[in-house]
């Protein structure tokens, strides 16, 4: 199946700094990628939909100035958590819509565990 | 407003027996349903899906059933194996015009005991 690679898998940063998370589709072009956040023992919450070459669409309650999304190419989307605070600590996961012919199952990256200290 | 709900946070079964994971939804605009398996600190892995025009889809040990009138779907795993122990999420997709977003349930922790 299609492969989505997310980097880094784990990051610890100081409060007030910014962190960038990358999501790459390795063997297919992804015009649409999704960014999710998961709190412990909770569901995956969609944060935003990232479309190549256009502005991301953010879900209600998600601060677009805090969570900057860039989808500059068909294989790469980035999420930057700006001025991170401890409450931003979470598990962030990206997914990409699969290529034609591989069914419609969004393919997920490995996730990034962000800890803000 | 939780549009996709998995009411059982956990399920424990014996190896070799059937595991049945349930999921309910409220939005009749969902047209595609998926099940994912997730291990801690990893991204979800796609398992099986079903279109809203079908009522059953089978793939090896995994079968998904959809009851549209009840807005209910279930995942059957038979026979269950210890390696199936993980968190299972059901997800539903809105129609294509909505950008194909997925809405996830809360997940069910499945434990298969040897």
Chain A residues with CB under 8 Å of B105 CB are 43
Contact A105/B at CB under 8 A: yes
- Interface contact A109-B107, CB threshold 8 A: no
Q: Is the pLDDT of residue B67 over 90?
A: yes
Nearest to B35 by CA among B112, B107, B114: B107
| 8-state DSSP, B47 | E
Q: Is the pLDDT of residue B97 over 80?
A: no
- Interface contact B49-A105, CB threshold 8 A: yes
Q: Is A72 or B96 the better-scoring residue by pLDDT?
A: A72
Chain B residues with CB under 8 Å of A36 CB are 104
Chain A residues with CB under 8 Å of B104 CB are 36, 43-45
Distance CA B38, CA B46 (A): 9
Nearest CA in chain B to A108: B43
pLDDT digits (tens, 9 = 90+) for A3-61: 899 999 999 999 999 999 999 999 888 888 899 999 877 788 999 998 888 889 999 99
Q: How far is CA B18 from the centre of its chain?
A: 15
State the pLDDT confidence band at A105, using cuts at 50, 70 and 90: low
- Interface contact B44-A43, CB threshold 8 A: no
């Amino acid at each position: 199946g299609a492969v989505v690679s997310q980097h880094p898998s784990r990051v610890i940063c100081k409060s007030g700094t910014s962190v960038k998370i990358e999501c790459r589709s390795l063997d297919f072009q992804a015009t649409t990628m999704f960014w999710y956040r998961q709190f412990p023992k909770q569901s995956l919450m969609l944060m935003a939909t990232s479309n190549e070459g256009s502005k991301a669409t953010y879900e209600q309650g998600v601060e677009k100035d805090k969570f900057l999304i860039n989808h500059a190419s068909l294989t790469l989307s980035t999420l930057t958590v700006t001025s991170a605070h401890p409450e931003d600590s979470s598990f962030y996961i990206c997914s990409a819509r699969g290529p034609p012919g591989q069914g419609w199952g969004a393919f997920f990256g490995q996730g990034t565990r962000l800890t803000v200290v | 407003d939780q549009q996709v709900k998995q009411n059982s946070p956990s399920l424990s079964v014996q190896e070799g027996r059937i595991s049945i994971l349930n999921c309910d939804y409220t939005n009749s605009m969902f047209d595609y349903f998926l099940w994912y398996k997730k291990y801690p600190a990893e991204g979800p892995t796609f398992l099986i899906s079903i279109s809203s025009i079908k009522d059953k889809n089978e793939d090896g040990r995994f079968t998904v059933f959809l009851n549209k009138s009840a807005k209910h779907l279930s995942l059957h795993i038979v026979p269950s194996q210890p390696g199936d122990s993980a968190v299972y999420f059901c997800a539903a997709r809105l129609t294509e015009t909505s950008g194909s977003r997925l809405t996830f349930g809360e997940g069910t922790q499945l434990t298969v005991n040897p």
